[in-house]
A and B are shown apart, each in its own frame.
Chain A
């Protein structure tokens, strides 16, 4: 938490050992439509040596290599799905920023809806629960209340002490 984001760059530099830039001018494809596809695709893929950063944003050399690879394959006419499948076969699901929906990740994907449902159920149950009426004051409390009321009357209003915290 210390250094928050900034230190990311530090890790990139350490991990990559070399300084590059996220999407360099030399990488950009001439055809804007193809380039847009490449950008879309690379924003879904994780830079493997960074923390939760997409290869589109990353400075790491590895991210640069994958960006170039994606653009080569797009230029050859491969579909986004084919390229994604190729990268998953090479690096595993780890490269996908959006985890696939499969048995392993079922709980992950259902965590939010389940929490919401359980919470709503809890609230519903709590609202339905019959409430016990506020209990009457005990004799002791009655006495304290009477004492407080008496004090309040006997003191001048400007100096009166508010019974707080009790």
Chain B
């Protein structure tokens, strides 16, 4: 019964979404306030209904109701509660439901927080948001119904895919979807601005928090996915330029570019047309990602289904929204008035360069991902575009972005002084160059990319810090003055500094992979082996049975100069329900580096095939990503971006002034 209610709520949500699309559009066109007002109620209603629907599916999974096909195929009565819960989105149907649920959350947020917006802008944006909802709700109801019943109900479920039985599944997809789908708001507002034919700084100020939220989540989602891969794959790789990874990277790149250009628009009223274009681009790439994954067109393992009906349906949605929005763009964009003149050497100029490089990177990833597919369709030739290609194109371009970052961050708006900025960055430049030269000397003839990356990383980190110093510290000023100045800087500045530093930290971690060590050997219990600066020894090998799997565990001690620094338990897990085995790496985090050990099935003589890796500074990759997301969150809490905040800020300042008198 609950399941049927969930299904019915989804059908109702579709109806409400239709109303949300049509009524406000007509209202905005006719200037009818009552009709425009429908948008907010409909958005909130749609959210409530989809929440009911999602709750029903969650209930079915938690209660292990195997009469629901989706539960029977993706769950098991013995899996821990967390995997019952994450099993909701560990399959095609459920993950699409999560997708529209998040879409509805964002729609409702606009309805609640957008009261101060011009009525027509809000109505049009919510209408576009409603249209996206209609398309995906139809998709779910017609091709991917998660509420389908199974009769007779099986006694036991087929278990969740063992690879997915990991805390990663609980966190990674929701984060990624919050990012992907968050850009739908940006898209809806861009479309609304185009429909109205006008756009201004207020638009930017309202859209920017949504873009920041989406970007933060996407950053965390991508980083989380890469860390999950890192610890489950068994050899410590964390990025493969897999089409599906690329699908999440492209919206991230476009979104990063958008964040920078919308900042220019908010502050300087420039780059309007370009900002709108990036808004369309970011969400189009999110849709493209959904298509690539859900259609199975790339035979990626991420595709749970290769049902052609689904592929064609999503392709139709993709074509509708991308072609539709681009047509709207071509038709209406010339109406948008340009403002805000600036010299080429200025912060705006640097951000334009940043946008150019980021979008080119995005294009390189796009072509690299889809070219093999297109070529096979046209000529039948099968080629592979792998890591070497992406490193040579996207990788090099991203290094360029890193080089420009500190300059852009330090240049003044409108007209900048490049020489002055170079002086201000001289310490950072020197530090970066020194690191580069030192590392070149160390590797001597080895790969040159790692030293370049490390040098740039140091440049970006020190560059961000010296910009902070320049804003806070003046010659001869006391510490308390510096502290007061630091407190006076807007949070969005701190956010930017932190995010840029985070990018530098992540790059440092990436560059450090070039300085790792690995040892591949068959290990005997009690016989130590060196890996990098450490020594590893297997103390014992044992078997144990856990919930829904059995595992062979090697207990291993990591020593440094004879001192035990860590004990890890790399293991092999066997899942009887699906007859599958997984590798559970043993990871010891030592400072910012990690010793990473994967074991194979023990041989008959008790020896264990083992791969040991020493990965210096590897955790910086993900710590850096977290810093970037934290920087985004800082910017988000900036006064300027809070609605109605200018009023409160002003009155608070006045009160303080009065009190001081």
Given contacts A23-B611, A111-B393, 11 further A-B contacts (CB under 8 A): A1-B290, A2-B89, A3-B302, A21-B598, A26-B609, A51-B301, A99-B389, A105-B375, A112-B367, A131-B338, A164-B116
A108 touches B611 (CB 8 A): no
Query: Measuring CB to CB, which residues of chain B are less than 8 angstroms from any residue of chain A?
Result: 89-90, 95, 116-118, 161-164, 166, 168-169, 172-173, 176, 180, 202, 206, 225-226, 228-230, 232-235, 237-238, 240-245, 247-248, 289-290, 293, 298-302, 304, 338-339, 341, 344, 352, 356-357, 359-361, 363-364, 367-368, 371, 375, 379, 381-389, 392-394, 397, 520-522, 580-583, 598, 600-601, 609-611, 644, 646-647, 650-651, 654-655
Docked CA distance A44–B235 (Å) = 17
A93 touches B339 (CB 8 A): no
Residue among B90, B235, B344, B610 with most chain A CB within 10 A: B235
A81: shortest Cβ distance to chain B, in Å? 16
Residue among B180, B382, B392, B610 with most chain A CB within 10 A: B382
Instruction: Specify the chain A residue showing the minimal Cβ separation from B232.
Output: A6
Docked CA distance A51–B89 (Å) = 22
User: Which of A68-76, A116-124, A142-150 lines the interface with chain B?
Assistant: A116-124
A1 touches B397 (CB 8 A): no
Neighbouring A residues of B240 by C-beta, 8 Å? 5, 8, 51-53, 57
B174: shortest Cβ distance to chain A, in Å? 10
With A10-B163, A51-B300 as contacts: A5 and B520 at CB distance below 8 Å: no
Neighbouring A residues of B166 by C-beta, 8 Å? 6
Docked CA distance A22–B583 (Å) = 12
Q: Looking at chain B's contact residues, is the secondary structure mostly helix, strand, loop, or mixed?
A: helix
- A4 adjacent to chain B (CB < 8 Å): yes
With A1-B173, A1-B302 as contacts: A19 and B581 at CB distance below 8 Å: yes
- A98 adjacent to chain B (CB < 8 Å): yes
A164 touches B382 (CB 8 A): no
Which of A25, A46, A120, A162 touches B646 (beta carbons < 8 Å)? A162
Which of B245, B364, B387, B646 touches A4 (beta carbons < 8 Å)? B245
Docked CA distance A19–B283 (Å) = 39
Classify chain A: how many residues form its interface, as a range. Answer: 35 or more
Neighbouring A residues of B654 by C-beta, 8 Å? 157-158
- A28 adjacent to chain B (CB < 8 Å): yes
Docked CA distance A165–B205 (Å) = 9
With A54-B386, A127-B344 as contacts: A104 and B375 at CB distance below 8 Å: yes
- 29 A–B contacts, CB within 8 A, in A order: A1-B225, A1-B290, A2-B90, A3-B90, A3-B163, A3-B164, A5-B228, A6-B164, A10-B162, A11-B301, A19-B581, A21-B234, A24-B600, A25-B520, A28-B520, A97-B385, A97-B389, A99-B385, A104-B375, A104-B379, A112-B360, A112-B393, A112-B394, A112-B397, A115-B360, A120-B356, A160-B647, A164-B646, A166-B202
